[in-house]
Homo-oligomer: A and B are copies of this chain.
Amino acid sequence: MKTSVDCIPCFVRQTLEAVRFVSTYPSVHEGVVREILRCLARFDFDQPPPVVGQMIHRRLRELTGNPDPYKSVKERYNRLALEMLPELREQVKQQPDPLLASVRLAITGNVIDFAAISGLTEDGVRSSISRALAEPFSIDIDRLRREIKRASSILYLADNAGEIVFDRLFIEQLPTDRVTIAVRGRPVINDATLDDARAAGLDEIARVIHNGSDAPGTVLDDCDLTFQAHFNAADLVIAKGQGNYETLNDEKKNILFLFRIKCETVASRTGFKTGTNVLTGTPGKNG
């Protein structure tokens, strides 16, 4: 999807939050915000929002000389999620529909997002996850089940660190010999990379690749050829997170998006309310 003019105030706010996260110097805050304002003023709004995010966070890494400012945050949320994993796995087993239960937990894990969500805390994540199976929820689980059954190859696009541990519960319900999991190629915000996939133990249950890109989404032109080949060959793509939705929703490809709606722009685009957890698909080749 294209970037909306409504995304602009939000990007400026995100820039400010991010620069404060990586630096305590007011002069750095002001300098980065000024630079991002200049970039936004000439930005090609036909590009999806994660391309703006990519630009902002590249600049932050350059300015701070820190190639992975969110490293400790990613480790912290991986650890938190791993602590919760054994008990959640038991809960999933005991549910009448373990696939549905695991999907609900995986989508709820999408709250661990340092780009779109202000004031994220470990307690907030614990509380969201503990409510995930009890709250009313409506997804087209039959479509998901059907698509999984008929796909001879599934590409699973992960989103954030921490969240990726909850993805594991879902991926364990899939025919893992037919699954490839893809993470970002390089650090950007708290998006999951190969390190996080390994921390979550995903490499023990399925093939894991990276996409070669540092966009907080899947900008196909920016991904490496290996990833592109996997993407093109997959019968079904399961894409986690709003960034993957924003970059892939116009693709002519069979994609199921699992994410939390984090802003009004995507809410109005999808027809769901902000704050809801959704499973929605492209019309797809098997539509």
Contact = CB atoms under 8 A, between A and B. Distances in A.
Contact of A12 (B12, B26, B30): B12
Nearest to A14: B9
A234 B13 CA distance: 41
> Chain B CB within 10 Å — which of A12, A13, A16 has the most?
A12
A34 B5 CA distance: 9
A170 to B, nearest CB: 35
Interface stretch (A37-45, A94-102, A197-205, A270-278): A37-45
Contact of A37 (B16, B29, B38): B38
**How would you classify the secondary structure of chain A's contact residues: helix, strand, loop or mixed?**
helix
Contact of A33 (B8, B34, B35): B8
Given A37-B37, A38-B37, A16 B8 contact: yes
A135 interface: no
A6 interface: yes
Interface string A28-58: 0110011101101110010000000000000
